[in-house]
Chains A and B, each alone.
Chain A
């Protein structure tokens, strides 16, 4: 894939799309939670990322420090790959970007908002409106059919959305799962489950997608499909995608690769 050309071409449209998406989503959040900690409104320099973030768990001899003063920003409309060995702090970084964890020190920015000092309710609202998650273990609701799982994504983002089943079906059709929409997760292959999970993450059009080892449980073909689907989200819709993975196949699809080691950034490739 001619990635650089594709990326450059798409990035212009993508940033426009992303900016539109960003402002509508941001206003939605502000209406609900009124966060007043915005910084650099209107610029993309702190759209998504962390600055001098340090995280530690435990105390005394049991204290571990998965991230040590890490600073990294992710531009709108890009797919970034975060790699590194186990325990290097990849998931901790993703948790912070997903407003699921606050650093002991440093700052976290999501959609130009400094989030690490927001209340839990405000962070929940940001996750709800702006972030789609894709997990290694899919984390689909086992009792719901594929379409209901995706519809739940729409419902969470907009409880008043009455067309959610139709929209969920549309998303599943798009991902080649139209004929399996009424099957439960345990009736689907791992690759299909992950596509349903991606569809759920995309329900409600979040500007940011965070994916944790999304291809780790998949075979080669299914893994490639997921890589392509997430790449398309950047190219076609201008979403900002951050993927944490050990899978080297992602390099081919990523605009940028960041390697973490022992809680610090070891390397940034194609730094944008």
Chain B
């Protein structure tokens, strides 16, 4: 196997091109993978942040961002279903936000009851009691430029209602270019002009000892005019909507696949050229009695070595770039398993790239060694 390594490092420029090709492919795959993972996470982030077991939505709601109001009786009827321990309300609607300097901006205003979840970013959760006013409005730090408040707190207008921006939070930045603002449920319905009993989503917690699926079934039977989904089902539905139905996920996936294909072509080309350049040596190896398996192993090892070195370089390059990209794309997210997972397709890519080369090396006629 020393021959495999020596062959590739002997021609350093070609080796560099191959390694660059693999690095580029790995970079693109990890970057696009991080976009996709981040996009999926962002698409269901608020649903995942709730501590609820079940979400009730109006019939046909595809994603959290596109809810419509439910009749007030839905919450009351849901509360009466055996196994339901607690009901809370969540709403989200687009509103017009006016900065202190008079600039207008469309925002996605989210309101929720205090017990919807510890991680749900509303000001009146028990954890923030006393720190800020219950009717405060929160925004994500990544939307600082769009919200444009010079100091905290600052008085602004939301749908012509006076509101107080009081705190920056993290991890809930603009998903589709429209910044989120978070406030208490009662405050939100005031800004949005909803009635006091209106709700867009009713979220439920199931009492201990009750089965979520049984409660869900009972709710669906009692409320046939709405959709009853577990938290995971609604999160999944939201993610599928944003990634598949809008085509956004397809675009990201396409870029990742393109990265793979570009890498495949670059590596194939260079491994093939390397093999053809050394084809006489493969003929010599065969003449000297090297079995086909050894010849194949040498070519494959060369491809995999390029893959391994290229993957490491690609990962070293992409990690700081993703960190830097967070300032522009706040929802980009690279879980620890993604780079590990991407090494596998890069190795598959290199193995595929070596197929044509292996074939040529195996079929070369050893008798040609006697030609000077």
Contact = CB atoms under 8 A, between A and B. Distances in A.
A142 interface: yes
B154 interface: no
Interface stretch (B203-211, B259-267, B284-292): B284-292
A263 to B, nearest CB: 16
Contacts of B289: 124-129, 131, 156-157
Contacts of B155: none
Interface in A76-115: 91, 94-95, 98, 100-101
Nearest to B2: A148
Contacts of B292: 124
Interface stretch (A132-140, A166-174, A253-261): A132-140
B372 A143 contact: no
Contacts of B290: 124, 128, 156
A205 interface: no
B281 A133 contact: no
Contacts of A157: 289
Given A100-B287, A124-B291, A143-B3, 5 more contacts: A94-B370, A100-B370, A125-B289, A136-B372, A139-B284
Contacts of A128: 288-291
Interface of A: 91, 94-95, 98, 100-101, 121, 124-129, 131, 133, 135-137, 139, 141-144, 148, 152-153, 156-157, 200, 212-213, 216
Given A124-B286, A144-B2, A139 B10 contact: no
Nearest to A145: B6
A7 B370 CA distance: 28
B276 to A, nearest CB: 14
B6 A100 contact: no
A143 B284 CA distance: 14
24 contacts: A94-B370, A95-B370, A100-B366, A100-B370, A121-B291, A124-B289, A124-B290, A126-B289, A128-B288, A128-B290, A128-B291, A133-B287, A133-B369, A142-B278, A143-B3, A144-B2, A144-B3, A148-B3, A153-B288, A156-B285, A156-B289, A156-B290, A200-B288, A216-B372
Interface of B: prevailing SS: helix
Contacts of A139: 280-281, 284, 369
B7 interface: yes
B243 to A, nearest CB: 47
A107 to B, nearest CB: 18
Contacts of A126: 289
A135 B2 CA distance: 23
Nearest to A139: B284
A100 B369 contact: yes
B367 interface: yes
A139 B290 CA distance: 15
B296 to A, nearest CB: 13
A137 B372 CA distance: 6
B288 A133 contact: yes
Contacts of A133: 287-288, 369
Interface string B20-48: 00000000000000000000000000000
Given A95-B367, A100-B366, A144 B288 contact: no
Given A98-B287, A153-B288, A135 B3 contact: no
